[in-house]
Amino acid sequence: MENPKNLKYSKEHEWIKVEGDIAVVGITDFAQKQLTDIVFVELPEEGKHVTQGKAMAVVESVKSVSDVFAPVSGEVVDINSELVDAPEILNKEPYGKGWIVKVKIENKSELNNLLSTEGYEKFLRETKH
């Protein structure tokens, strides 16, 4: 699966789609492949404040437990509650129905800390993932 060109990426393998002042956040195809079969997702509560680079959710697979880090700071305004009963959506559609949270962006300058599609793919190559 290719990484969509209209997204930004973190080095922790989260993607972000900016829609006005809202950031839709999920994990990348690379991340879900590394985790293998995802069996549980722990979502933050709506209204929670998240900080760029800090853990905001947890994804558990048959192989490991991984934190999902906030690519931007702000308030969680929506969660993908469908993932609670069907966490495997993250494996099937990481860039579509597999979004995790929506965050009201507090400081748009934080977007400058994220990678373009090309930058993320270069990061994957250079780190031998």
Q: Which residue has the higher pLDDT, 96 or 2?
A: 96
Q: Please write the tens of the pLDDT for every residue from 14-46.
A: 999 999 999 999 999 999 999 999 999 999 999
Range of the domain at 20: 8-126
In tens, the pLDDT along 99-112 reads: 999 999 999 999 99
What total number of domains does the chain contain? 1
Residue 32 inside a domain? The answer is yes
**Residue 76 per-residue DSSP state:** E
Could you tell me the pTM of the whole model?
A: 0.95
Average pLDDT over residues 2-9: 95
In a domain, 36, yes or no: yes
Domain of residue 67, CATH code: 2.40.50.100
Instruction: Tokens for 23, please give them.
Output: 């950031």
Confidence category of residue 129, pLDDT binned at 50, 70, 90:
low
Residue 67 falls inside a structural domain = yes
Mean pLDDT of 51-72: 97
Residue 3 lies in a domain: no
Residue-level pLDDT at 128: 72
What is the predicted pLDDT for the residue at 2? Answer: 85
- pLDDT value for 76: 98
pLDDT at 116 over 80: yes
The answer to whether position 55 is within a domain reads yes
DSSP string over 15-66: EEEEETTEEEEEE-HHHHHHH-SEEEEEPPPTT-EE-TTSEEEEEEESS-EE
Q: Would 118 be classed as within a structural domain? A: yes
